[in-house]
Chain A
């Protein structure tokens, strides 16, 4: 492929359970720092088995003018911080003209919804404030960040639950390739509410055997895993055409080689290995990359029994037993709509540093997971191409390929 069609990433922004910034995210994972904790609201619920989550540390957001902050729930604030970081790294004080913005979330702010429900219980629905409504639109974080940072290009919010972040990176990639925009911020944002944990818990998909040791609560691929840990945050990447990056002298962090998405039609909650396999194969074809050229699969692997098995079986069918595979959910928990992008950011750091992050809490691989090259230790190895997977409840799957810049 000639450079005229190449899409690159030149900046990144992250708000995560490790705190604000890409450095906090990367250093937290590098040092296996614990960001998980018990949640008092969950501890008070007798029938909910999981008690652990990973949330963004409290911060002062008053630096965002009230005029913009009034329409932001927590996920909007997280997104505003991540977007500011990415724009700054991209070399912009204010958003460049016609910047595209592709971002969504699984749900909107449950906390604000709960507040509104409180009003209605008292038959005071007429006392709903405009600012409450502006915080709970499906695209509220997207719209709020556009206002705050003067992003005036096309802003669209793809929303596919746990695949949201990576789907929006795919949308940005396609939009740049097709010439709709030259530059775009892409990713996902999410804010935690105990309702997430309660819902996944009743589906038997949460971690429940490590409430007294939150750091070990999420154990992708491990024999003793019982499920995921819900988390929150926002990840955004600044994508642009390679032509644009070269023209303005922007350092290239990674190339986006290809993207593919498909949908599971048999079951909303249980992915089939066949569909996941087709998704990964589609991404390889879209990127014109051979399976053996991929150095690492950064799996979706949330630590659920069924999901990890299906994904590894699919990966085995596509790549064979030599495939190196890791999951970052043991470090970060499942940041839901933000996970695809926050983990892609970690992938780009892995490419930059030739550093393979371990699958935290992996002690003994479940024999039902396919035989692949799992790693429980930090390793320094050459990494050129990484495939990132994100799969959503609802059956929405996507895979994206990243390469160290040539």
Chain B
């Protein structure tokens, strides 16, 4: 089972590569839209790179409005990964 720490590391690595973030920007409470300035087009690409990263399907039932912070995103992926491994 993938650990929370691994989810955070792999998510952050994927986001840094795709959106040119620095480590300092990727705090757990950072808001995707307001702090990291990800717009609707970025949100679509974020889904694609995270799906590639974790081999899961994020887009079905995915709603950016329910994922406000990076922590919310880690939670969402963790939940999906658990369901995926059941």
Q: Measuring CB to CB, which residues of chain A are less than 8 angstroms from any residue of chain B? A: 62, 66-67, 70, 127-131, 134
Given contacts A66-B19, A66-B20, A67-B39, contact A131 B51 (CB under 8 A): no
User: Which 7 A-B pairs have CB atoms at the shortest separation, nearest pair first?
Assistant: A129-B45, A130-B44, A130-B41, A129-B48, A127-B48, A130-B45, A131-B45
Given contacts A66-B19, A67-B39, contact A127 B44 (CB under 8 A): no
Q: Is the CB of B44 within 8 A of A129?
A: yes
Closest to A127 in B: B48
Q: Is the CB of B20 within 8 A of A128?
A: no
Could you tell me the distance in whole angstroms from the C-beta of B37 to the nearest C-beta in chain A?
Answer: 8
Residues of B within 8 A of A70 (CB): 41-42, 45
Residues of B within 8 A of A66 (CB): 19-20
Query: With contacts defined as CB atoms under 8 Å apart, how many contacts are there between chain A and chain B in the complex?
Result: 22
Task: Name 22 interchain pairs, CB-CB below 8 A, sorted by A.
Answer: A62-B20, A66-B19, A66-B20, A67-B37, A67-B39, A70-B41, A70-B42, A70-B45, A127-B48, A127-B51, A127-B52, A128-B48, A129-B44, A129-B45, A129-B48, A129-B49, A130-B41, A130-B44, A130-B45, A131-B41, A131-B45, A134-B41
Residues of B within 8 A of A128 (CB): 48
Mark out the residues of chain B between 10 and 65 whose CB falls within 8 Å of any chain A CB in the assembled complex: 19-20, 37, 39, 41-42, 44-45, 48-49, 51-52
Could you tell me the distance in whole angstroms from the C-beta of B28 to the nearest C-beta in chain A?
Answer: 22
Residues of B within 8 A of A62 (CB): 20
Residues of A within 8 A of B52 (CB): 127
Closest to B57 in A: A126
Closest to A66 in B: B20
- Supply 9 further A-B pairs (C-beta < 8 A) apart from A67-B37, A70-B41: A62-B20, A66-B19, A66-B20, A67-B39, A127-B51, A128-B48, A129-B48, A130-B44, A131-B41
Q: Roughly how many angstroms separate A85 CA and B44 CA in the complex, as a whole number? A: 33
Residues of A within 8 A of B19 (CB): 66
Residues of A within 8 A of B42 (CB): 70
Could you tell me the distance in whole angstroms from the C-beta of B9 to the nearest C-beta in chain A?
Answer: 21
Q: Roughly how many angstroms separate A66 CA and B22 CA in the complex, as a whole number? A: 14
Q: Roughly how many angstroms separate A41 CA and B41 CA in the complex, as a whole number? A: 34
Q: Roughly how many angstroms separate A236 CA and B44 CA in the complex, as a whole number? A: 33
Q: Roughly how many angstroms separate A218 CA and B73 CA in the complex, as a whole number? A: 56
